[in-house]
């Protein structure tokens, strides 16, 4: 199953958007919200993404 490139959520078959770059790289997005944010933001800085929560755990471990 493909995973959303921005938020990290698994996609169901037939759902989401597949974006293909000119060099042949394929990006999957679960929604237009993720697709728009991918162009402008870093997923580690957006609170509703999986990457944010993983980086937050790493930051808390390094402090302790």
CATH number of residue 22's parent domain: 2.30.170.20
Is residue 8 included in any domain, yes or no? no
Mean pLDDT of the chain: 88
Q: Are 6 and 37 in contact (CB under 8 A)?
A: yes
Q: How confident is the model at residue 20 (pLDDT cuts 50, 70, 90)?
A: very high
Report yes or no: 2 and 19 within 8 Å, Cβ to Cβ: no
Number of domains forming the structure of the chain: 1
Residue 44 in any domain: the answer is: yes
Tens of pLDDT, residues 29-52:
999 999 998 888 888 888 888 888
- Residue 34, domain member (yes or no): yes
Judge whether 6 lies within some domain. no
Q: Would you place residue 11 in the very low, low, confident or very high pLDDT band (cuts 50, 70, 90)? A: very high
Model confidence at 62, pLDDT cuts 50, 70, 90, reads: confident
Does residue 26 fall inside a structural domain? yes
Containing domain of residue 55, as a range?
17-63
């Amino acid at each position: 199953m493909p995973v959303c490139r921005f938020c990290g959520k698994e996609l169901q078959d037939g759902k989401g958007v597949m974006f293909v770059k000119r060099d042949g790289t394929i990006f999957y997005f679960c929604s237009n919200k993720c697709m728009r944010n991918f162009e402008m933001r870093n997923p580690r800085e957006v609170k509703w993404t999986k990457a944010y929560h993983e980086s937050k755990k790493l930051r808390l471990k390094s402090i302790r």
